[in-house]
Structure 1
């Protein structure tokens, strides 16, 4: 049989296979129901790497092939083409951390309309009709915990406090800011001067903190709502020579953040459990594909870490590789 004949037969078989049959995990077309894709919010961030580790572990244990595709930055214009590319290959399920609670609704709805099971991990859309499940930290609780921890660190001292947020429309960090705002008013010695957005860029966090220090000589505390703002805030305090005199509470426990906590640049971290988010997200996707019980909303734990309990809470430190 000639090479050309073999190629033609192969093409015919491929076309015939596109009709698809109904099997457990089948996506209703040419897709691969035994494959799942994770689309994190950004590449190379320890939070999402830790999430990936949990995802790979849970999916692999059930015989699912996995793929991870992440935008270079936390940006909906970078995440949308990744979703479009994944849609063309039609996996059984997609776990995604949407980078905007409105802008990602259209692309994610296309996944759903194609028969792909969508599970939100970490962040979520305003539209609750797209995902079969959402797995996330209780972010408002995390913000309240940050305010409570900051109040304990400050004690009876009076002064101004600032929130450094990422991008408006990021469901998780907006919820953290809200939780902080709701709690900080319960502490009359702390004067809340509002939040500033950093576009999720450490250099902007550093510069905005520097400007706030210049305008508020009594600044006594800062809550940074995610890893990048926390690392940028640390840089801003170093540059201003104010490390230690301004209490910095960060969110997330990246290696750099933990190092800064040990060094006294950061006074506390609110740590999530990203590996459990990834693991649980994969489990929910598998349940959706195989006809199991799917829980619509799942919240995972957060903890406050200070220098006093660093060793006791090492399990919450984020990873740089699986």
Structure 2
């Protein structure tokens, strides 16, 4: 590897401006996501792969554990990236606390880290350069608003969530619940945690529908959870009868929107997370100033706009 041309005089301020006194290094950019077993994260990979082609002299690896709940495995992946002295890390942390020591090790090794999708706890804020994500709280509020518009302000709804405590889950479901509490008298059942397993979400939703025959609405808070929720609605014969709003935009969810199983889906800019994540970490590696937070956006997609450019730009 080429050697650093300018020594690092201080680690102070790295969180704001990146590795300010380091020259760009040829080497590996490690993109580590919550799991590779999801089309959402595969779309992140597509964006990252497109971006690395524009970053001269660097290669990219893409990895993630078998499931989003395999937090220890993800910690090991980050530590291994630090040990093999990668040039930069793009990370979607599965847990806000467990990943902090690992990104601290990267910081101590002078490896810039850009977070995507989910935040770490306050203890980790000095150790990453930028955070690129959906404004999950706002997206959760948009889903709540969409549901209220269809079910009204009274009755019972259920929240089908994914991994308790994940940064994106805290913002997304928190925003949803707070908006419901502030703008309606709807009673919330749950949340139920699928661990981002579609089959688990299907079974949980089936149980919720059976035990709550008066249920008026459902919120499925991420891709596998929303897919499982949609399939449960179809199998129970309640598709189109119970109003459902999902999250993310793979082919299954698009089909559910088109056939009326789901009222709408909030679709994140997953491709943008990967693309901007790689571009941003490359800038930090070059000593350039990078924004501490970048909102990659979310689009509410329903039957009325699913074929329009605003939707096609984010669906995958």
TM > 0.5 fold call:
yes
2:32 pairs with 1:39 = yes
Aligned-residue CA RMSD (Å): 2.3
Q: Which of 28, 50, 66 is equivalent to 2:43?
A: 50
Structure of greater relative contact order (alpha carbons < 8 Å, 6+ residues apart): 2
C-alpha offsets along residues 267-290 of structure 1, whole Å, 9 cap, x if unaligned?
A: 210001111112221222112111
Max Rg structure: 1
Residue pair 2:4, 2:25 contacting (<8 A) in 1 also: no
SS at match of 1:309: coil
Could you tell me which residue of structure 1 aligns to residue 61 of structure 2?
Answer: 67
2:229 pairs with 1:236 = no
2:104 pairs with 1:109 = yes
SS at match of 1:91: coil
The whole-number CA distance in structure 1 between the counterparts of 2:191 and 2:7 is: 45
Q: 1:39 offset after TM fit, Å?
A: 0.5
Residue pair 1:25, 1:289 contacting (<8 A) in 2 also: no
Residue pair 2:25, 2:285 contacting (<8 A) in 1 also: no
Cα 1:286–1:179 shift into 2, 3 Å: same
The whole-number CA distance in structure 2 between the counterparts of 1:25 and 1:272 is: 39
C-alpha offsets along residues 243-278 of structure 1, whole Å, 9 cap, x if unaligned?
A: 111111110001111122112222210001111112
Could you tell me which residue of structure 2 aligns to residue 317 of structure 1?
Answer: 315
Query: Which stretch shifts more, 88-97 or 55-64?
Result: 55-64
Residue pair 1:39, 1:68 contacting (<8 A) in 2 also: yes
The whole-number CA distance in structure 1 between the counterparts of 2:25 and 2:251 is: 36
Aligned pairs for 1:152-301 within 5 A: 152-154=149-151, 156=152, 158-188=154-184, 190-301=186-297
Q: 1:59 offset after TM fit, Å?
A: 2.5
Could you tell me which residue of structure 2 aligns to residue 6 of structure 1?
Answer: none
SS at match of 1:256: helix
Aligned pairs for 1:131-146 within 5 A: 131-146=128-143
- Name the TM-score, length of structure 1 as normaliser: 0.86
SS at match of 2:246: strand
The whole-number CA distance in structure 1 between the counterparts of 2:198 and 2:63 is: 23
2:83 pairs with 1:88 = yes
The whole-number CA distance in structure 1 between the counterparts of 2:279 and 2:189 is: 42
The whole-number CA distance in structure 2 between the counterparts of 1:236 and 1:305 is: 21
Q: 1:188 offset after TM fit, Å?
A: 3.0
C-alpha offsets along residues 213-234 of structure 1, whole Å, 9 cap, x if unaligned?
A: 2332211111111001101111
Cα 1:24–1:124 shift into 2, 3 Å: farther
Q: 1:189 offset after TM fit, Å?
A: 5.4
Which consecutive unaligned segments of at least 5 residues does structure 1 have?
1-16
Cα 1:42–1:24 shift into 2, 3 Å: farther
